[in-house]
Structure 1
Amino acid sequence: MTSQVMPRATPGMRTPPGGSPVRLRWTPPFPVHLGQTLRVLARGAEDPTVRVLSPDRVWIATRWEGLPVSACFSREAVAEGVNPLERDVMVEAWGPGAPGWLPTAPRWVGAADDWKPFETSDGYHLLPASLTRARHQHPGLRLPATGTVLDRAVVSVLEQRVTALEAVRAHRALLRWAGEDAPGPAPSGMRVPPTAEQWRRVPSWQWHRAGVDPARSATVMRVVHRASALQRLARQEDPAQVRRALQSIGGIGPWTAAEITQCTHADPDGVSVYDYHLADYVCWFFDGAPGSDARMLELLEPWRGHRQRVVRLIKASGHRKPAFGPRLSPADHRHH
Structure 2
Amino acid sequence: MPKKTRKASPRQSQQPKSVLLYHDMAVYENFERCAQRIFKVAQMAERTRPGAPRLLHLRVQGHKNDIGGYDHDSWEIMRHFLLDMLFPYLTEITTPIYRVRNKQKQLDDIPERLDISYPEGENGFWYDVDLLPVRPREIDTAARRTPPSRDAIAEYLGMDAACCLVCWKTKVERAHVVPTALGGSMNVRNFAFLCQEHHSQAPDIADAEAFWAWVDYAEMRDSGSKWEQAPENVKDWMRALGSRTEKHDRSEMDFIAAVKFELRHLYDWTETDFSESSWNLQEEYHRVLDAATGKHFGVEKKVATHAWAYNVAKHRLSQRGNSRTDRPARVLLYDDIQ
User: Higher relative CO (CA 8 A, sep ≥ 6), structure 1 or 2?
Assistant: 1
Query: Fold conserved (TM > 0.5)?
Result: no
Structure of larger gyration radius: 2
TM-score by length of 1: 0.28
